Structure formats: structure tokens, C-alpha cells
Structure 1
Amino acid sequence: MKAPQITVENLKKGLFRINFKAMGCPCEIQFRCNNPQTAEQFRTAALDWVNAFEQKYTRFKEDSLVSEINRQAGKNWVELDAEAEALFDLCNQFHFITQELFDPTTLPISKIWDYKATVPRIPSQEEIEAAKRLVGWNKVEREPGRIRLTKPGMGIDLGGIGKEYAVDRVSLIAKDFGLENVLINFGGDVAALGSPPQYTHWHVGIEDPGKPGTCWGSLALQDLCVAGSGDYRRFFEIDGKRYGHMVDHRKGYPIANKVRHTTIVSRTCTEAGILATAACLLGEEEGMELINTFFGAEGCIHTEFKRLDSYAIHQYMVSDN
């Protein structure tokens, strides 16, 4: 992971920018700071934390904690440190809050619906049913300081919480350094603390799922987070039918409810991201009901043909096209 050094020129402009790639996506941190030494120390601390987090919790590295947990499925307990235990506590909390829509154990289903395959295929019903039997947070055993997947073939994937959790943690690191005006953007999952120079709010563009690469509008945010979820970029087609990368683990199939993208504004990025995914799984009516009844959250749902807004999302909108 590499990022440009902090320079005096940045200081003169009043805004530092750090750009790097991590967790499979472009990442950017913008922040105001009047001390180049503090800016450099924060840069180092933030990058070191993100790098360590990715190494520990990715399922794509054999020596990660998540890979070890998955390797021991149906066999042995795996020891957890305090940070890992807190992260799995958070998973447990959101599994309950979303009525099991958020579930970190959906890896077996994700594997059989591999949209990245050179030749994607539709799995058989037998494969789907077998994968579904391996999914369920209630099948995970936890004791203080350790965790165990009870069935061989089970697997944890923290892709539904990882980037958002990282945004929140880097926000806390920024506050530890006394930084009050920070924008953290990890692959479109954003925390907006304070404000940029000469403005009262950070402006965050929201991509139009019907026209990827363009924005349908932007949100003015201060001390809030925004995250989105959707399948309009990652999918495959077979015989004219579209199969998105978001799989409903309750049914074992990619979602097919016409929702293309959901955007959520909330108090934490983790909360925003998990609510966005849950709303996509529920569909437009139930998804909007979830958003409207969740304290502190606002959002909008894009379907193939329209956009639905929560009661008070307009208070954040800069432009509404």
C-alpha cells in the first residue's frame, strides 16, 4: 500500500489528500490540518491500520484470521483477540437488528454464484440447497476469546461489513489526532466529519445506477456517513437473464426485485452500509419501510424505473435530478 508523502504545499492549500488502494477498491482521505508533522503522523497511522486490518480479515489471504476460521470449519476453535471479538460482536448485533438479513456466513452461496468466473454458470438446485444448509450465523459457536464454525464447508466473508467498519475506525484515528474536518472515502463508503475549507458541509456525489460514472445528485453532509449497495455494476447474463452479484441467502439466488441501488445516510458507515444491503434484499416497499423506521437513518432506493426517498433524505440533497 503506497500513498504520497505529506508536503508543505498541501498545508498551504489547507487540505491534505491521501490516495491509495486497499480492500480491492480506491481509497481517499481528505483532511484539514495546520501542522504538517501531525498530518504525517495521522497518514502513517491510518495507512498502517488499514493495511493490518486487510491482512487480518480478508478471506483471500491464506494466513489471515478469516481464512484460518474457515479452514477449521467443523473442526477446531480459533482464538480471537479483543479487536476480532469486538468485530464479531458487531456482526452479531447487526444480524439481530436486520432480522438475519445481514449474515457473515454466506460465503458458500457466494462461491457457487461466481460472477467473476471466466464462464459464469447457474448452479444446480442441489448445489444451492447444499450451500444454504451451510449458511446461518446461528450455526457459529462463540465463547469469550474464541470462535468455531460448526459444519465443514461453512465460511465467513466480512465483505458486507469490512470497508464500512474500516471507515469508522479511521474516523476514530483521525479524532485521536485532533482532526475535526475529515472526509474518508473507501470505495464509495464515506464518513464526512466537520467541513472542508470555505464550505459548511462536505458534498458527496451519488452515482446514478442507470448511468454508471455519472451522479444523479449529491448530499451535503457534516458529521454523518453515507454508504450504498447495489448490483448494477457487478453481474453476468445467461440467455438474456441478468444475475447480479448480490445473493439473497434466504432463497439461494441473486436478488430479482428490480432494486438496482440503495443509498443510506446514517451515524456510522457500518450502520449505513448494512442497512443499504438489507434494503436491497427486502425490495422497494419493505426496504423503504426499514429505512423510514430505523432511528437516525435516511436514504433512497433506485429501481429500474424510479427512485423512492425516505421521509427526510431531502434535507441532505444538494441537487435532485
Structure 2
Amino acid sequence: MRKLCVLLFSFSCLLSIGQLERRDITVKKTMKLMGTRFEITVVAPNEEIGYLDIDEAVSEIERIEKIISSWDPNSETSKINQNAGIKPVKVSPELYGLIERSIKISEITDGAFDISYASMDNIWKFDGSMDSIPSEKAIQSSITKIGYQKILLNPDERSVFLKDPGMRISFGAIGKGYAADRAKELLSSKGVKGGIINASGDLTTWGTKVTGEKWLVGIANPLSKDKVFSWMPIIESSVATSGNYEKFIMFKGKKYSHIIDPRTGYPTTGINSVSIFAKQAELCDALATAVFIMGKDSGIHMINQIDGVEAVVVDSNNKIHKSSGIIFDTNP
């Protein structure tokens, strides 16, 4: 009997040691979703479980894309666009909520963010084919169908109606952030300890690294995209960046961004990049575009009025501006 007890004790000790030695690992996968580059990172007990978790996140993002895509003729969003000026379209609570929140952001930003920007005629080209700026008449004509006030919501019917024929809505400036939030919520609800959903620079995190350290995001040096001038800890939070490093045109020595002000029809000038920090990637995504359009002074003033939101703006002279709650750390 004594020998059996000793054997049992030894076996339980081995189990305890094995449990102590087991370590979570980081699993990462990069793929193209929603027409852009997604990188999903999870903390998992092993590689197999990690990839299963990532597959679930991918399925959630693909599900959202089928609802909000303006390119898929069968999506709810496309049905709204197809019935512009004709009749209201009843939609899912999910899409109705996203449109409702988008309109509220439009109100806060005085129309700098506007999902009806998709109604704009495509007169600006950023593929090198333009040899002159469009005429004032063409620019003014291009924005006649834009206006978040023309997106009519009926909460009783849960319907959406675009008032003018030819109007369109698109979630290009908020959809990736929303998808990242939903993928994070799904994995977190399933017990995934930590991770990052990075939608081409719009990212959200939860938990910590395997080591217990905070997730860090680097703010690129405006003089060199490959260098970081500051590291920001991201704790259960999100960040999104809008920039004109790659898509812009030059006319008479002036740089015009591919981000166009939906209120005027003109490309934005004066800013190279905007990074927004907040709890939800959806809000970060939308406000990064809005601040880019509003300009550094108006944009940062607005951000300073919103609890839990911060901004870093790099102007066209590569000077860095920040909201009141940002403290830079140059050590990773």
C-alpha cells in the first residue's frame, strides 16, 4: 500500500510540474479580407487551437462584409443604394445600428465624416492620369448627392431611405474598424486570453502578450515610415491611422491627399497622417478620417472634447501635434 501511495504521489507531482511548464504561445496569420490586409494574432495554448480561433475571427469578418459591402449586389447595403430615391429598405438591427452611429459621428464632426461620400462623382484620379485640377463647376456638381442629413432612418420600421436618386452609402471609412471590433468581441467571448486584430493599420487589442506585457503600437516617424519615434501602450483599446504617404497628387508644388472632404469636393491638404486612440476601432477608424479632413487645429480641439479619445497628428511640415492626454514614450 505504501508503494502505491508513493507512486501516486510521484505521478501527481509530475502532472503539476508539467502544468507549470506549459506555456501559452502567440499564433499569427495574415490574409486578405474586405479588400485589404488583415493580420490576426491570438494568445493560445497551442498552435492548433490558435489557428482555429483565427478561423472563427475570419468567418466573423466575412459575415460582416456580406452585410456592409457596397460592391456585393446582394448585400443589405447594396439594396439600400439600389433603392435610393425609390423606397425605404428594412435592414438587420446590426446594419441599422452601424448607420445610426455613423450619422451621429457625422453630426459630431460637422459632416467631415459622412458615409454618403460614396455618392461623389469620381472626378479626382490618384493613379497618375490627371494633368489638371477639375473645374470648380465639376467639383460642385460631384457632391450634390452627398449629405448625411439625406439618410432617413425609421426606427419603428427599422428601415433606411436615401432621399435622392443616385445616392450611395459606403463604409470604407468605418467598416474595417467595425469588423475588427466584432472579431475581437467574438474571440474574447470564447475565452481567448489576448490578441490583436489589425485591419491594415486599424487595430484593436485585448489581454496582454504571452509574457504579460502590454501590447505596444509604434507611431511612425514622419521622415521615415520604417522608423518609430514613439511607442504607445494599447490596453484593451484600439488605434487607427489615416495617411497620405502613398496616395496623393502634386499640382504646382502643392500636395493633395486622396482623402476628399465630402462637404467641398476638394482633397485635403496640410496633414500627412492622423492616428486616433479609443476603446473601439470603429470610432478610431471614423475619427481618423474626420480629423484628417477637419485639419489639425479643429480636429484636435474636437478630440479634446471627447472622453476616452486621443489623437496624434503629423502635419505637412512633418511637425507632430497631439491631444491633451497623449504622453510619448521613445523606449519600446
Q: TM-score, normalised by structure 1?
A: 0.87
Match of 2:100 among 89, 97, 118: 89
Q: Does 1:269 align with 2:260?
A: no
Q: CA RMSD in A?
A: 2.4
Number of the residue aligned with 1:291: 303
Identity of counterpart residues, as a percentage?
27
Match of 2:293 among 264, 281, 285: 281
Which range is displaced more, 212-221 or 243-252? 212-221
Which range is displaced more, 102-111 or 209-218? 209-218
Could you tell me how far apart the structure 1 residues matched to 2:77 and 2:233 are? Answer: 36
Q: Secondary structure at the match of 1:300?
A: strand
Number of the residue aligned with 1:150: 163
Could you tell me how far apart the structure 1 residues matched to 2:210 and 2:131 are? Answer: 47
Match of 1:20 among 13, 18, 31: 31
Number of the residue aligned with 2:179: 166
Number of the residue aligned with 2:75: 64
Q: Post-superposition shift, 1:31?
A: 1.3
**Change in 2 beyond 3 A, CA 1:88/1:281:** same
Q: Does 1:319 align with 2:310?
A: no
**Structure 1: gaps (5+ residues):** 1-10
Q: Secondary structure at the match of 1:111?
A: coil
Q: Deviations over 1:267-305 (max 9, x none)?
A: 111122222222212212111211222111122110122
Number of the residue aligned with 2:122: 111
Q: Which amino acid aligns with 1:154?
A: M
Q: Secondary structure at the match of 1:313?
A: coil
Number of the residue aligned with 1:39: 50
Q: Post-superposition shift, 1:96?
A: 2.5
- Alignment size in residue pairs: 308
Could you tell me how far apart the structure 2 residues matched to 1:108 and 1:289 are? Answer: 29
Q: Secondary structure at the match of 2:44?
A: coil
Number of the residue aligned with 1:8: none
**Change in 2 beyond 3 A, CA 1:110/1:14:** farther
Q: Post-superposition shift, 1:159?
A: 0.5
Q: Which amino acid aligns with 1:77?
A: P
Match of 1:183 among 196, 210, 225: 196
Q: Post-superposition shift, 1:160?
A: 0.9
Structure 1 contact 227–264 (Cα < 8 Å) conserved: yes
Q: Which amino acid aligns with 1:22?
A: L
Could you tell me how far apart the structure 1 residues matched to 2:329 and 2:280 are? Answer: 21
Q: Post-superposition shift, 1:191?
A: 0.8
Could you tell me how far apart the structure 2 residues matched to 1:234 and 1:215 are? Answer: 21
Number of the residue aligned with 1:230: 243
Q: Secondary structure at the match of 2:122?
A: helix
Number of the residue aligned with 1:253: 266
Structure 1 contact 113–121 (Cα < 8 Å) conserved: no
Q: TM-score, normalised by structure 2?
A: 0.84
Could you tell me how far apart the structure 2 residues matched to 1:198 and 1:12 are? Answer: 10
Number of the residue aligned with 1:196: 209
**Change in 2 beyond 3 A, CA 1:45/1:121:** farther
Q: Secondary structure at the match of 1:60?
A: coil
